[in-house]
Amino acid sequence: MVKKGKAGRPARRSPDERRALSQRIVLSNNNALEVTGLQELSVANLSDPELRTQVVGLPMNLVDRLRAVEAFRRSQGWNLFRRPCTVVRKETVELGRLIEHINDKEKGAEAVLKIVTGGRGTGKSVHLLHATTMAFLKNWVVITIPDAWDIVNGTTAYAPVPNSNPVKYFQKNATAELLKRIAEGNKEVLSKLYISRPHPNVKDSGISLFEMANIGIQQPDLSWSIFRSLWSELTATGPMDTNAAKGTKPFTARPPLLVTVDNLARWMAESKYRNPEYKLIHAHDFTIVDHFLSLMRMEPKKALPNGGIALYATAASNCMRLPSLELGIKQVAARQAGIGPSSPDYPVLWRRRIAAS
């Protein structure tokens, strides 16, 4: 007679495994019916107005790159369909026209800075996905911050930047993850571009931008320095003088950039990190946050010299309500509509409106 053993408790998964499972996104469902005659988003129909209100499939050869830059969100229900597909809206067609216009080299490099707003479930994150897909189709370099909350929620290592005044903080692991998204999503483009000037922590003057990004990925302590070097290369408009660039390969024109940030409001308040006095650190005091927000403060041409789009989106879920940010966005929209600050319809704080009445 064989005695049955006592059933043991299953082994607890490691933190990395649990994190991977919580962030896993299923992009296909073999049990779902296949849609016949489904068009695929391509360079040819990027801005085709006939596609408006229709469902198109995302290019299957770009799915891995879109996953690498974390363009998909878990809440978007991709596991219900046989393949990733999306609805083309009026804004999608307009975005396609804008990207084609910027991609036209004969008209000169043009840069556009935009903030995407709207209510919950209106498709702000999907709009960023559309932009990322179109940028990949046009061979742009895509740089993404999938969720601004991940930078300020107190879950990654941070340290003050030496000799910075006022004090700034860099996050080596978060910056290494940023470099990883850039390298994996843009490997084909970055492998054909080479450094054009000397950089600290880069000894070989003939490496590609992809290889340079990998230095920061493999050595997180150097990640911020490498990111700054990579950004200077991607925004370079020409080579440095011959003596400074000795040993480097011939300069290749840099492609336009697409920079996306989701859940922007999280960067407009104090973070969950603390300084040595145990006071909360404001999000603007982190180097990653300061870098991407500085693009919005600059003239578009200076922010993206080779052209491109900086597309930042607010969020209505997992976000915080900031009346000052909401007011600022309303004021920008009013100025775009031709409503000046002297107009009674110009958005202002309620207490200022009451004082003026």
Residue appearing with tokens 């006071």:
279
Contacts of 74 (CB under 8 A, 6+ apart): 23, 25
**Three-class SS of residue 165?**
coil
pLDDT at 340 (0 to 100):
84
pLDDT at 241 (0 to 100):
64
Neighbour count for residue 39 (Cβ, 10 Å): 16
User: Mean pLDDT of successive 10-residue segments in the chain (357 residues)?
Assistant: 62 78 81 87 90 92 94 87 91 94 78 90 92 96 95 95 93 97 96 92 90 96 96 90 62 94 93 95 96 91 92 85 84 86 80 49
pLDDT at 204 (0 to 100):
85
For residue 57, give the H/E element and its range. strand 55-57
pLDDT at 272 (0 to 100):
95
Check: pTM over 0.85? Answer yes or no.
yes
Would you state the structure tokens that stand for residue 143, as one six-digit string?
Answer: 């740089």
Residue 60 CA, distance from chain mean position: 21
pLDDT at 8 (0 to 100):
65
Would you state the structure tokens that stand for residue 160, as one six-digit string?
Answer: 């003050």
Q: Give φ, ψ of 65 to 5 degrees.
A: -70, -40
pLDDT at 355 (0 to 100):
46
